[in-house]
Amino acid sequence: MSGRARGKSALKSVMSRYYEYFLLPVGIAGFLYLWQYLSGFYDPFILPSPRLVWERSLEFFNQPQLFFMHFLTTLGEAGGGFCLGALSALPVSYFLAKKPVLERLLTPYFVGIQAVPIVALAPLLVIWFGFGIVSKVLVAALITFFSVLTTGIAGLRSTDPRLRELLAIMGATKWQIFFKLEFPSALPYIFSGLRLGGALAVIGAVSGEFAGAGKGLGYIVNFARGSFDTPLLFAAIIALAVLGIGFYLLFFIAEYLAIPWKRKR
């Protein structure tokens, strides 16, 4: 093979192995091009172009810390609410998994609360707990709680009864069975509930902000609507999307680290 041909095929093999890593930036660039193209067909107050959104963002958030204040506010509300909701849901799910009678008793109430869209409950919580961060954290916590609760119960009930019996023969105590069998066996379920809960927590935080807030990305959305500032609205939406993706990635990584036995080759 000539030197040039060898170089060409080497390049091809490198590209074919790593092409997956190129997909992400290419995908984003493609999306931006498409957006730019489509925005040409619409008024800027219906579908602003990416450049317009960028310029408006720079204008509104003239100092970086201004943006971070709003971003981190919503992040904090979602994160805090998530932790509160998830941490309180886990012991409750253990309790209810062990006592099906109790679970059956409480299920109608759970279903009822979950059925009400959080955007309707949020104003109620704001009235009760004020317009500060607390009410937003509680909204996020509420919505996370139920998500983690249902998956937690399902996970803890999913223990293979044969394994349970085997461990009993080995002489395991109730606590040992929990820590060494039930809990690890429930982890995949719990993590899927956590991942969902993370996304829901962001929704909860923003819903809380819609109902009354002075800062945060949800507040920016309200502000942009009131000022008919569609580019700013887009900026807020993009920031929220980044926030949501960040949460998702966080759990993806956490799951990867915590559940090595479910990794696919």
Minimum distance of another protein from residue 6's CB (angstroms)? 37
Minimum distance of another protein from residue 123's CB (angstroms)? 7
- Number of neighbouring beta carbons within 10 Å of residue 142: 22
Residue 61, phi-psi category: left (phi > 0), alpha (psi -120 to 50), beta (remainder):
beta
C-alpha to C-alpha distance for 93 and 103, rounded to whole angstroms = 9
Minimum distance of another protein from residue 97's CB (angstroms)? 18
Q: Can you give the binding site for another protein, defined by CB under 8 A?
A: 42-46, 123, 126-127, 130-131, 160, 162-163, 165-173, 176, 180-181, 184-185, 187, 210-214, 219, 222-223, 225-230, 259-261
C-alpha to C-alpha distance for 179 and 192, rounded to whole angstroms = 19
Q: Which CB, 123 or 248, lies closer to another protein?
A: 123
Q: Which residues contact 214 (CB under 8 A, 6 or more apart)?
A: 131
Q: Which CB, 51 or 160, lies closer to another protein?
A: 160
Residue reference for tokens 């954290």: 137
**Spatial CA neighbour of 213 closest among 113, 102, 118, 139:** 139
C-alpha to C-alpha distance for 148 and 191, rounded to whole angstroms = 9
Q: Which CB, 18 or 42, lies closer to another protein?
A: 42
In the chain, the DSSP E strands lie at none
Minimum distance of another protein from residue 10's CB (angstroms)? 32
Minimum distance of another protein from residue 166's CB (angstroms)? 5
Q: Which CB, 82 or 218, lies closer to another protein?
A: 218
Q: Which CB, 52 or 83, lies closer to another protein?
A: 52
Q: Which CB, 79 or 231, lies closer to another protein?
A: 231
Minimum distance of another protein from residue 217's CB (angstroms)? 14
How many C-alpha atoms does 202 have within 13 Å on its Cβ side? 20
Residue reference for tokens 């900026």: 235
Query: Residue 249 is encoded by which pair of tokens?
Result: 């990635």
